[in-house]
């Protein structure tokens, strides 16, 4: 009799544990699903991208020699093609520069200039350490209210959702320019689930403020582009 009661209690405990586990998985996946659905209709290939003034290029890592990773090169190349096609006037390149020997924006600018973009058409954001920071600073520091976001398909739902929630009217241009390694691509896709969950926590609960500073509007109120000013790499 005692053994039967123990078996029944153990069964109910496992059932409750399984239900809690399923609920936690659902809660963890839900933000990524919402972001993915929200991105419908806002993704464009380069040829059909809408015309705007600014493209935001998100950092995506550097090699040990300081050169852009393959993913980052694809983003920069796509942004350069947008510029050359007359789709945008300025490129806002945002990335991590938290260490003196790690300068994503600088590497992005160097590569874009090599591809034929004049330096005066490039604006650097040295404190875009996360997608959230990039979107937040684009509006708060650089005065961006509307932009084309340049990133790969795996990242675009999160980037688009964050920017729109923070008040940027945005569309995304796909920077998928090659067939990435399957294992790596699957890792990126899976990584977006916790990353998007964290983004939702930031957007609706924590609301952290990234590194800020004096406003540096890309366009002054009447729509003109301000004269470029020299910017040193300071940390």
* CATH code (residue 196): 3.40.50.620
Q: Structurally, how many domains does the chain consist of?
A: 1
| Four-CA torsion 98, 218, 77, 168, nearest 10 degrees | 90
Residue 68 within any structural domain of the chain: yes
Structural domain span for residue 181: 38-206
Q: Is residue 218 part of a domain?
A: no
Residue 222 is assigned to a structural domain of this protein: no
- Evaluate whether residue 114 is within a structural domain: yes
Q: What is the pTM of this model?
A: 0.84
Confirm whether 28 is domain-assigned: no
What sign for the dihedral angle of Cα 150, 156, 159, 162? positive
Q: Which residues of 202-221 are buried (b: 16+ CB within 10 A; e: fewer)?
A: bbeeeeeebeeeeeeebbee
Spell out the per-residue pLDDT of the chain, length 235, in tens.
Answer: 545 544 555 656 677 777 677 777 777 788 888 998 988 888 888 888 888 899 999 999 899 999 999 999 999 999 999 999 999 999 999 999 988 889 999 999 999 999 999 999 999 999 999 999 999 999 999 999 999 999 999 999 999 999 999 999 999 999 998 888 888 888 888 999 999 999 999 999 999 999 888 999 998 765 555 555 544 444 4
87 in a structural domain: yes
In-domain check, residue 168: yes
Per-residue b/e over 17-46, b at no fewer than 16 CB within 10 Å? Answer: eeeeeeeeeeeeeebbeebbeebeebbeeb
Displacement of CA 167 from its chain's centroid (Å): 15
Whether residue 108 is contained in a domain is answered as: yes
């Amino acid at each position: 009799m005692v053994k039967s009661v123990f078996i029944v209690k153990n069964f109910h405990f496992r059932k409750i544990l399984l239900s809690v586990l399923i609920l936690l998985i659902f809660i963890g996946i839900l933000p990524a699903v919402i972001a993915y659905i929200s991105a419908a209709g806002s993704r464009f290939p380069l040829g059909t991208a809408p015309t705007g003034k600014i493209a935001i290029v998100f950092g995506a890592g550097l090699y040990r020699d300081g050169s852009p990773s393959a993913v980052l090169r694809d983003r920069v190349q796509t942004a350069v093609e947008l510029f050359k096609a007359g789709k945008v006037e300025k490129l806002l390149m945002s990335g991590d520069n938290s260490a003196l020997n790690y300068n994503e924006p600088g590497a992005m600018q160097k590569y874009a200039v090599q591809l034929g973009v004049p330096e005066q058409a490039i604006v650097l954001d040295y404190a875009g350490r996360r997608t959230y920071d990039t979107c937040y600073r684009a509006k708060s520091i650089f005065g961006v209210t509307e932009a084309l976001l340049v990133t790969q398909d795996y990242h675009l739902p999160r980037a688009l959702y964050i920017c729109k929630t923070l008040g940027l009217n945005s569309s995304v241009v796909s920077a998928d320019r090659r067939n990435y390694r399957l294992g790596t691509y699957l890792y990126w896709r899976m990584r977006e689930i916790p990353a998007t969950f964290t983004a939702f926590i930031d957007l609706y609960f924590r609301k952290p403020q990234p590194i800020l500073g004096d406003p540096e509007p890309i366009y002054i109120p009447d729509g003109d582009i301000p004269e470029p000013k020299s910017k040193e790499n300071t940390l």
